[in-house]
Structure 1
């Protein structure tokens, strides 16, 4: 094996390791996201902020598809570079199939193996290549099932976040301008404690499923960035209540909101020294608040 063949082998192995590391950090490591997936999701998010209307809502689903495509591309090209130095002498060709040793042939073999289609007209002859091809087939099957699981886990997290937003809107409509003071203190305390648990679930979802942050809701009714400020208002009102149960519920909700603000500040870079400032930035980024003069500076 000459220097060029060794270089292709090293580059191919590097691409495969990058893909495996990115999949591990995105799908298996709690509270993590891989560099490839994170870059793609953020890139689509930044592009979507320049679009208008409902077109911006499809950016996140497209970004997830792009991440999956990037994983498949890294795997296909990585293994193709491993096969390239051994073409065509390292493979057995079926009669009538032309023997070629170019990159396109290597990519074809890699994609057929990765997809577990296995046409069988070109098979590895060397024992080590046969082992590499088998490992690629197993990886391809695992990548397929992992991405399906990723999608199935993402949308329940989005539903939980939308449910919190709807809950806040229903509370606002039912309570009216008087807020928690219009309700029986014990009943209000129970509602706020339930809301605190739901807000805590949203914080966990944002840590575990980094990509859910980039899904934008056009309708304010189902958007947490548009409604979270009202939860902060409820927590403040409850903490000033004379009822001890309601005060405790207010402190509990306030703590849950502080945890959410810390996630938004630390994980997604929202500025602000207080939770209110972080939530204002959150709403601004999701286009549910108009920028003020200091935001433009």
Structure 2
């Protein structure tokens, strides 16, 4: 191969490798995220923050679709560049198929192989090329199943976050202005321990599925940024209680909230020396106005 062919081969291999690394870090690497996917999600997020109306709530789903499209595009173009130097000598063409050696032809072959359609009008002749084509077909099938898995993992994590927000809202409405003082201490301790466990689950979800952070909630009732401050109020109420069991549950919830604040601070760049400052920033970025307690002045 001459210099130009070598350049196309190296560039194609680099694009395929970038796609594989990004998919691996997004879907398989614990608490990781691919550089390309993260950049796309963050880009859509920054644009959506400048928009108004209900359209901002579809930014995250569109960003996920863009990430999947970027993966497919990198794979298709990368493999096409690998085929390009070997057109037309490295392939056998069917009857009536014109012999072409341009990028459009290589991209067509790549898309057909990646989608595992396999029309059979153009077939690799060289043993190495046959192996490369087979590897692309395997990659295409793996990419399809990986994206489906990604989507199926994302929405349960979103539901857990919404459930926590609803749980806090229900407790606030049921307890009223009296807060935990209106609840039996043992029962209140059990509620706080349950909330602490759910907060910890949300923290893990944000680490494992970073894309869930960028989803905005249409209804404030299901928005954790708008309700997480109430969990801090519950901690304060528990710490003022004379019941040891309730105090312990309050410390558990406090630790869980500190963990959530650390995730928001370290992984998503929310500034603040205290967890309250971090949650204020979290709320501001998601454009929800904090709901006041009943009877507040």
Smaller-chain TM-score bracket: over 0.9
Per-residue displacement from partner, 1:7-62 (whole Å, max 9, x unpaired)? 00000000000000000000000100000000000000001111112110100000
Give secondary structure in 2 for the equivalent of 1:212.
helix
Q: Would you identify which runs of 4 or more consecutive aligned residues in structure 1 move more than 6 Å?
A: none
In structure 2, the partner of 1:203 is 203
**1:59-98 map, 5 Å:** 59-98=59-98
TM-score between the two structures when normalised by the length of structure 2: 0.97
Structure 1 gaps of 5+ residues are 291-297
Structure 2 gaps of 5+ residues are 291-297
**In 2, Cα distance between equivalents of 1:289 and 1:78:** 46
Aligned length: 290
Give secondary structure in 2 for the equivalent of 1:74.
helix
Give secondary structure in 2 for the equivalent of 1:216.
coil
The answer as to whether partners of 1:280 and 1:289 remain within 8 angstroms in 2 is no
In structure 2, the partner of 1:147 is 147
Give secondary structure in 1 for the equivalent of 2:119.
coil
Give secondary structure in 1 for the equivalent of 2:242.
coil
Per-residue displacement from partner, 1:34-91 (whole Å, max 9, x unpaired)? 0000000000000111111211010000000000000000000000000000001110
Per-residue displacement from partner, 1:82-110 (whole Å, max 9, x unpaired)? 00000011100001000100000000000
In structure 2, the partner of 1:293 is none
In structure 2, the partner of 1:163 is 163
In structure 1, the partner of 2:278 is 278
Give secondary structure in 2 for the equivalent of 1:188.
helix
**In 2, Cα distance between equivalents of 1:240 and 1:21:** 50
**In 1, Cα distance between equivalents of 2:187 and 2:25:** 42
Give secondary structure in 1 for the equivalent of 2:14.
helix
**1:88-237 map, 5 Å:** 88-237=88-237
Structure 1, 215-224 or 262-271: larger mean CA deviation: 215-224
Displacement of 1:218: 2.5
Give secondary structure in 1 for the equivalent of 2:193.
helix
Q: Does 1:42 align with 2:46?
A: no
**In 1, Cα distance between equivalents of 2:267 and 2:289:** 21
Displacement of 1:289: 3.5
The answer as to whether partners of 1:197 and 1:256 remain within 8 angstroms in 2 is yes
**In 2, Cα distance between equivalents of 1:123 and 1:179:** 72
In structure 1, the partner of 2:294 is none
TM-score between the two structures when normalised by the length of structure 1: 0.97
